[in-house]
Amino acid sequence: VKDVMSNYTFDTSRQYVGTMSLEIDFLQKKSADSNPYDTDKMAIEFIQHFNAQAFCLGQQFVFSFSDKVFLLVIRDIEAMDPSILKGEQGSSKKNKINVGLLHGNSQMIFEKAESSSISLVGKAKTRGARQSIINPDWNFERMGIGGLDKEFSDIFRRAFASRVFPPDIVEQMGCKHVKGILLFGPPGCGKTLMARQIGKMLNAREPKVVNGPEILNKYVGESEANIRKLFADAEEEQKRLGANSGLHIIIFDEIDAICKQRGSLAGSTGVHDTVVNQLLSKIDGVEQLNNILVIGMTNRPDLIDEALLRPGRLEVKMEIGLPDESGRVQILNIHTAKMKQAKMLAADVDIKELAVETKNFSGAELEGLVRAAQSTAMNRHIKASTQVEVDNEKAQSLQVGRSDFWASLENDIKPAFGTNQEDYSSYILNGIVKWSNAVSDILGDGELLVQQTKNSERTPLVTALLEGPPHSGKTALAAQIAEDSQFPFIKICSPDKMIGFSETAKCQAIKKIFDDAYKSQLSCVVVDDIERLLDFVPIGPRFSNSVLQALLVLLKKAPPRGRKLLILGTTSRKDVLQEMGMLDAFSTSIHIPNIARGEHLMEALELLGGFQEEERAHIAKAVKCKAVWIGIKKLQMLIEMSLQVRSRAHARVSRREGEGASPADLFNEILNSSSGFDGSCSTVFVVALSHREAGG
């Protein structure tokens, strides 16, 4: 025995224990419990018991703490730098040893055994090489996410910042991880894309992506079981690894399909309610999980049960809205990157110019625009013959040019929440006739309203009522002000699009227009012919109170933060709106006058054209020193009616000349058919004008 065994001599300059890592578990499984054990206190007691004791790598022994007996296994020993004992600056180099002597300044680190259920708290639990949850080589462009920098920054701050910090610091703060994010906004803005790419950004498991309707099952209890299966892996890993458990991401697409307001579906089987209850208990119930991140996506956040949106559940609510100009530049760069690399994007394509012209385009619509431009370019190289063939020689030099993008903008891709020029161009078909300074002043007032909406931070909602007699051009002026504003979203709420609608359907249609407007940063809504929207008549059922109340609410409702809205209303019955209390809902009122003076009438005739100089002189003589009262819209109609005299005369002359009649006979026939007039269109116009003045 003496030949085999000998005294071990410690090299005190190299074999004092600096840091020792121990794996800990309950000695007897039946004594296991869920109480947290403070590793800081455990380390102090361990050093007091085993000070100046030698330990070797892999050694097993038992340790009593807080009336419990634990099994310890030494997993790692690092030597203490002797210069520290001398009060000198230590070296950063770590020296691993197999045998070490415990010292009063040694540091203990306790690691939970892999299959153990022990719960450890405090600084002395493992701070080993935890893999960062953030993938170091991620970026927006390679992932295909553009225009969502601010949104992603906010999500990271709320949902991932606590997961990046060391767990002991998080525990000291008493901080709990965010377990849920709700992404909502218009379709095609990147909600699903962002949720899918979060899994790639994180060093976590592949996210479980679930479409809302897939959860539901016709058999009793199966829908709830499907929810439990989604969280089973996270539950098992948390029991096994505790705080060292990896992050489990569960993505619910169209979450409103399964998480509707409980009790909202009258006469239903109650499946939706129990599914919501099961999901609530799994995310933040009695046995809550701390290693999950639930991401829900929806276009209808108003349908989701409010209990799911409270802090501790889907507490981070992020609107993924339409991209701004810089965001559109990013998105277009992403979708044209491969073309640039292959030198298939023409030099005349300016991405910034396209971004300016694609106001209110969603990310999906911008991608569609690029596809449409590519199709337009490829179509040039297809031979139109009996067979569809590609000109391979020219196809090698295929390039997508600026003209392809512009053709796609004009013909193929229209933004769902953008400005449809066809919607309001018909109202200003004949342009704005500036028959006096009054018209210029009205347009000037409109420009001031536009600038106030754009620039003022105190008045995000600006409302104005354009009121005046019928046919005075109110709608045309409102449409012109809206077009000149160049706002990304312009919509006309007109009664001609709601013919046959019930009161409820009309209220919903009006509300949808305003809801769409709130999604754009700058919006203009023209509420045309308000008395017709209200179904006003002077007798019988006077008006629709439901529509009135809806309009009153929407006219006073401020847009969401960061959004600005200009509302232009038009009416021919200001007195009626006054009685209904609607006049006070508008911040200002602009009067649109009729043409009331002869010189203004002549100015309008000159601008509108159609009459010859001698005809205008005849009209001027007839209206000289006379008061007139006619709207510009009605004036245009009278001019066109009177001009038909000339065209009818030419037609009759051509027909009678073919029959051999003399010019004198033809002239007499025209005179006789003019009902006593001299046959000129100017006379017809004057008589029609006089007829209007007489109230005929």
Which residues belong to the active site? 474-475, 528-529, 556, 633
Token pair 């001031």 is found at 448
> What residues contact 215, with CB distance under 8 A and at least 6 apart?
223, 226, 227, 258, 275
> Sign of dihedral through CA atoms 393, 397, 401, 404?
positive
Query: Do residues 255 and 275 touch, judged by C-beta distance below 8 A?
Result: no
Within 51-210, residue ranges assigned H as helices are: 82-85, 140-143, 149-155, 161-164, 167-173, 191-201
Query: Do residues 611 and 605 touch, judged by C-beta distance below 8 A?
Result: yes
Residue 562, SS3?
coil
In angstroms, the CA 141 to CA 321 distance is 18
> Sign of dihedral through CA atoms 85, 88, 89, 95?
negative
**Cross-strand pairs, 637:** none
Token pair 């020219």 is found at 394
CB atoms within 10 A of CB 179: 22
Query: Do residues 127 and 166 touch, judged by C-beta distance below 8 A?
Result: yes
> Sign of dihedral through CA atoms 209, 212, 217, 221?
positive
* Nearest one of 57, 73, 77 to 23, comparing CA atoms: 73
In angstroms, the CA 110 to CA 6 distance is 32
Query: Do residues 477 and 432 touch, judged by C-beta distance below 8 A?
Result: yes
CB atoms within 10 A of CB 517: 25
Query: Do residues 194 and 320 touch, judged by C-beta distance below 8 A?
Result: yes
In angstroms, the CA 147 to CA 328 distance is 6
> What residues contact 219, with CB distance under 8 A and at least 6 apart?
none
In angstroms, the CA 686 to CA 608 distance is 16
CA-based angle 13:18:22, to the nearest 5? 135
In angstroms, the CA 182 to CA 252 distance is 9
Tokens of 364: 């999906």
Residue 98, SS3?
coil
Tokens of 435: 């028959």
In angstroms, the CA 473 to CA 477 distance is 6
- Strand order through the sheet with 180-184: 208-211, 248-253, 292-298, 180-184, 316-319
Tokens of 67: 């009336």
